[in-house]
């Protein structure tokens, strides 16, 4: 076990559990460290963004751990909450249904229900997809602008003749995804395969995950794919409500003006 890492984690846990910010000497006494060791622990936590130093010289936790904890909770929640909805989609459409989120620079599938058709799309839990040319990836890029900025700054691979890699074209697509509430893949990742995806929101953040349908192009017309999109949007909205998401109230400017007069 790495002794330095143990000191850092113990220090962070103590700071989080304390009811007020703590100084170097007090932390050293609590953890039975020298003042220089306690100071190194605090400097490490500050550098990583988990702790901040106040004007009086004492140290307190930032909200970074809270953000990470809520992200983890939401991930654990939405897998379980989405499962019965995915099952109903699978039964009513007969197509492959998935739940996905971002992991590193890829889309990762958290749950997959296979199609009932004899010819199926190979997808598995834990499998990955490229963000720029999959329906789920476009959806998650659209709702995670910081990730999109970093991801789209690198060279993008062409997987089929339909794969779009020009940044202006991708940005235009992402704008449409945010406006329409769904993303489509029309043979851009795998030849002969199409799909559509819709976003899942939690009480804490939008676009933390998505649900989607993958199908063979030969049995899926554009009209049918757009029909899937509407069904997915409705299902995603129900799942999001169960996760605590409440869409912002849309108030027309004229009403605001009248209210203030």
The verdict on 205 and 141 lying in the same domain is yes
CATH code of 195's domain? 3.30.450.40
Global confidence as pTM: 0.68
CA quadruple 217, 220, 223, 225: dihedral sign? negative
The verdict on 105 and 180 lying in the same domain is yes
- Judge whether 252 lies within some domain: no
- Judge whether 78 lies within some domain: yes
Count of domains observed in the chain: 2
Indicate the residue among 12, 40, 62 that finishes a domain. Answer: 62
The verdict on 81 and 157 lying in the same domain is yes
CATH code of 16's domain? 1.10.10.10
Instruction: Return the pLDDT at 1.
Output: 66
- Judge whether 185 lies within some domain: yes
The verdict on 43 and 107 lying in the same domain is no
The verdict on 54 and 7 lying in the same domain is yes
DSSP string, 64-126: HHHHHHHHHHHHHHHHHHHHHHHHHHHHHH-SEEEEEEEETTEEEEEEEE--SSSS-----TT
The verdict on 53 and 72 lying in the same domain is no
The verdict on 89 and 189 lying in the same domain is yes
- Judge whether 8 lies within some domain: yes
The verdict on 147 and 197 lying in the same domain is yes
Segments forming the whole domain that contains residue 78: 68-242
The verdict on 29 and 141 lying in the same domain is no
Instruction: Return the pLDDT at 259.
Output: 39
The region that residue 244 occupies, defined by phi over 0 for left and psi between -120 and 50 for alpha, beta otherwise, is left
- Judge whether 254 lies within some domain: no
- Judge whether 21 lies within some domain: yes
The verdict on 207 and 86 lying in the same domain is yes
The low-confidence residues of the chain, meaning pLDDT below 70, are 1, 70-76, 118-122, 249-261
The verdict on 203 and 154 lying in the same domain is yes
Instruction: Return the pLDDT at 120.
Output: 59
The verdict on 52 and 120 lying in the same domain is no
Q: What is the rounded average pLDDT for all residues in the chain?
A: 88
Helix or strand run (H / E) with residue 240: helix 222-242
- Judge whether 251 lies within some domain: no
Reading the block at residue 203, the tokens are 């009480």
């Amino acid at each position: 076990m790495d002794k330095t890492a143990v000191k850092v984690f113990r220090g962070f846990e103590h700071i989080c559990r304390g009811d007020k910010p703590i100084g170097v000497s007090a932390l050293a006494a609590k953890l039975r460290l020298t003042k220089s060791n306690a100071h190194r622990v605090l400097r490490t936590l500050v550098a990583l963004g988990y702790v901040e130093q106040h004007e009086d010289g004492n140290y307190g936790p930032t909200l970074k751990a809270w953000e990470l904890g809520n992200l983890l909770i939401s991930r654990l929640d939405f897998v379980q909450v989405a499962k019965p909805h995915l099952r109903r989609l699978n039964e009513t459409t007969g197509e492959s249904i998935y739940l996905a989120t971002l992991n590193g620079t890829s889309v990762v599938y958290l749950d997959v229900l296979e199609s009932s058709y004899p010819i199926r799309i190979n997808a598995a839990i834990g499998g990955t997809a490229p963000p720029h040319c999959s329906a789920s990836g476009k959806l998650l890029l659209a709702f995670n602008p910081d990730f999109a900025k970093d991801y789209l700054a690198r060279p993008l691979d062409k997987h089929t003749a339909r794969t779009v890699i020009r940044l202006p074209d991708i940005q235009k697509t992402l704008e449409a995804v945010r406006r329409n509430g769904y993303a489509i893949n029309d043979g851009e990742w795998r030849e002969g395969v199409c799909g559509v995806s819709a976003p899942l929101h939690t009480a804490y953040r939008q676009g933390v995950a998505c649900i989607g349908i993958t199908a063979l192009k030969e049995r899926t017309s554009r009209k049918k794919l757009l029909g899937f999109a509407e069904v997915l949007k409705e299902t995603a909205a129900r799942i999001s409500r169960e996760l605590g998401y409440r869409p912002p109230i849309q108030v027309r400017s004229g009403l605001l003006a009248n209210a203030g007069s």
